[in-house]
Structure 1
């Protein structure tokens, strides 16, 4: 896999673009802090972009499935560059409305880019390398997040807000150039189909396909469990900081979680070669549920750090495994619509969990909230684990690298 030129193009492009993305995110927060005094209005502005991404997801899925994935990624990368121009106007005129235009356009581009990327990865590497590739890609996004946020912090001290978005603009330009360099043999069946058939490719066809794929459906539902944790992650970190009366714990939590996430994504291929990935998926989600419950004792510093460390390790395993299941089990002609559907669900779930976390923190408090979320997670895992191990079940199917090992 590491001798594959396309792999390095994708990973290097993701690293540079990810740095640009996170410098832009820090710039967004700084601009909002300067021009929008209300926290509620800030959340509405951020929500506007996410809503635009959800609305366009069905269209994005159809376009990705009926056109070249590479071309979709190129146009989406170009759209990212155009969106940054709106922020230059927002800074120049001190206008929040231009920032709203930026949030909408950047999320529209993301709604096309990321599902197309997920659909392209199985065309770049062999099936038995997908798990390793997904783990490496997620590690690259984590490294980009660490570098991007640190770089943005330094730039805000010594340079203007323009510099952050200029860095984003250059990074997206590099992504556009690197995507253009990809050499991928795509399935001409969907790319060259008549326009009449392209229009007939319905987004709704994803649901019947999922019903016939128990593994994919189970993995999709189990994704809710880490999302119950991730959706309120930032609010939980703030609550723990207040609980311990220690502002430094916030940085430690983010550092520990990020480092263990990278460790999990690095080890996932080796562990999945020895343990059935489907079984591993259930074990991981069960661990995440227990971790949620363990935060009832978050006033103990070492226990809080340990819990977030195990959570980072768990999702470092979980997301590459589920991505590989989706890429190998869902038919390729549905990849664009499926990954757009998944992106839409993730965005909606994230917002629902974020709002629920804020509501619970204001009403029942942090410790009872984690008990509620942890219990819900355990019930979901227990129900689907019971279905999975029932006699005559059809959920358990080997992944590509397992098939290879059994044939040997």
Structure 2
């Protein structure tokens, strides 16, 4: 795998783009904290971009399956650069509306970029390298997240918010250069199959495939459980910072969660030798619920960091394993539409969770909310495990 130049290009590009992405996200949170006092209103603004991504999801799936993956990656990467311009205008004019334009543009770009990237990975590595590639890709993204948030924190001390977005612009420009160097052999036979008249139905053609491969459908449902935590992640971090009256806890949370994620993604290859895919997915979905319960003690810095470490390790094992199920068992000619469908489903859930978390934080507070989320996560994990056993579904290939 490491002799494959495409692997190095994808991972290096992810590292650079991740730095730009996370410096921008910290800039978004800082801008919102300065302008908007209500958690719910913050959540509504953040959800506007998600809604745009949801609406564009069906189109993205068809475009990715009917087009060259490299072309989609390049065009959506350029869209990211354009979106940063909107945020620079928002800062210059002190306007929330320009920030909303930024959120819409960046999410539309992501709606095309990430499913195309997920559909590209099986084309550039062998099947037996998919778990390692997914793990390393997520590790690199996590390193970028830790480094990006740390860099953004330092920059905010010495420079303005606008400087964060200039870093984002530079990073997205470098990502375009790396994407141009990709060599993807999609195969003429496969392209002909994808472009046939029977493959223009968008998401509707994904549903019969999900019915034919119940393991994919079950894994897809299971990936929604961590979204309860992830959808409200940034709001939770802000509230913990306020509860503990510490701005430095934000950086520590991202660092501990990120390092634990990398540890999990590195160890999942060893764990997968001893454990079945079903065991890995359900066990670590349960661990996400445990992490949510631990945040009941959000006023304690040590327990807080331990909770995010548990979350990071669980996700580091959970997501690479789930991704292998999708990439191996879903027929390749449906990858674009399936990953776009999954991306759209995630965005819908993120939007619901984001708005719900914003309301809960204003009404009942963080500690009650995380207990509710923990009960829901644990109940769903138990219910889906029972359904899987009752219907005799196996997640192994």
3-state DSSP of counterpart to 2:226: helix
Q: Which moved more, 1:350-359 or 1:12-21?
A: 350-359
Contact 2:194-2:333 within 8 A present in 1 as well: no
In 1, Cα distance between equivalents of 2:20 and 2:27: 10
Q: Which residue of 2 aligns with 1:130?
A: 130
Change in 2 beyond 3 A, CA 1:62/1:35? same
Contact 2:272-2:280 within 8 A present in 1 as well: yes
Per-residue CA distance 1:202-242 (angstroms, 9 max, x = gap): 22221221122121111111112211122223333444455
3-state DSSP of counterpart to 2:347: helix
Q: Which moved more, 1:90-99 or 1:109-118?
A: 90-99
In 1, Cα distance between equivalents of 2:343 and 2:369: 26
Contact 1:67-1:192 within 8 A present in 2 as well: no
How many angstroms does 1:65 deviate by? 0.7
TM-score, normalising length: structure 1: 0.88
Q: Which residue of 2 aligns with 1:110?
A: 110
In 2, Cα distance between equivalents of 1:321 and 1:376: 22
Per-residue CA distance 1:7-30 (angstroms, 9 max, x = gap): 000000000011111222233344
Q: Which residue of 1 aligns with 2:182?
A: 182
In 2, Cα distance between equivalents of 1:66 and 1:127: 23
Contact 2:56-2:108 within 8 A present in 1 as well: yes
**What are the within-5 Å matches in structure 2 for residues 119-268 of structure 1?**
119-189=119-189, 191-192=191-192, 197=197, 200-241=200-241, 249-268=249-268
3-state DSSP of counterpart to 1:224: coil
Q: Which residue of 2 aligns with 1:312?
A: 312
In 1, Cα distance between equivalents of 2:194 and 2:272: 41
How many angstroms does 1:146 deviate by? 1.6
Q: Which residue of 2 aligns with 1:398?
A: 396
Contact 1:65-1:190 within 8 A present in 2 as well: no
Q: Which moved more, 1:228-237 or 1:30-39?
A: 30-39
In 2, Cα distance between equivalents of 1:208 and 1:45: 36
3-state DSSP of counterpart to 2:225: helix
Contact 1:49-1:106 within 8 A present in 2 as well: yes
How many angstroms does 1:193 deviate by? 6.2
Q: Which residue of 1 aligns with 2:322?
A: 322
In 1, Cα distance between equivalents of 2:237 and 2:31: 23
Per-residue CA distance 1:124-151 (angstroms, 9 max, x = gap): 1111111111111111111111222222
Structure 1 residue 101 corresponds to structure 2 residue 94:
no
Q: Which residue of 2 aligns with 1:350?
A: 350
How many angstroms does 1:375 deviate by? 2.1
Change in 2 beyond 3 A, CA 1:80/1:40? same
Q: Which residue of 1 aligns with 2:76?
A: 76
Q: Which moved more, 1:36-45 or 1:254-263?
A: 36-45
Change in 2 beyond 3 A, CA 1:396/1:161? same
**What are the within-5 Å matches in structure 2 for residues 327-338 of structure 1?**
327-338=327-338
Contact 1:295-1:367 within 8 A present in 2 as well: yes
Contact 1:66-1:193 within 8 A present in 2 as well: no
Change in 2 beyond 3 A, CA 1:298/1:126? same
How many angstroms does 1:387 deviate by? 2.9
How many angstroms does 1:250 deviate by? 4.2
Q: Which residue of 2 aligns with 1:378?
A: 378
Change in 2 beyond 3 A, CA 1:371/1:160? closer
Change in 2 beyond 3 A, CA 1:35/1:373? closer
In 1, Cα distance between equivalents of 2:210 and 2:30: 42
Per-residue CA distance 1:291-332 (angstroms, 9 max, x = gap): 333444445543333222111110110011111111111111
Larger radius of gyration: 1
Gaps of 5+ in 1: 400-408
3-state DSSP of counterpart to 1:389: helix
3-state DSSP of counterpart to 1:289: helix
Change in 2 beyond 3 A, CA 1:366/1:328? same
Contact 2:149-2:254 within 8 A present in 1 as well: no
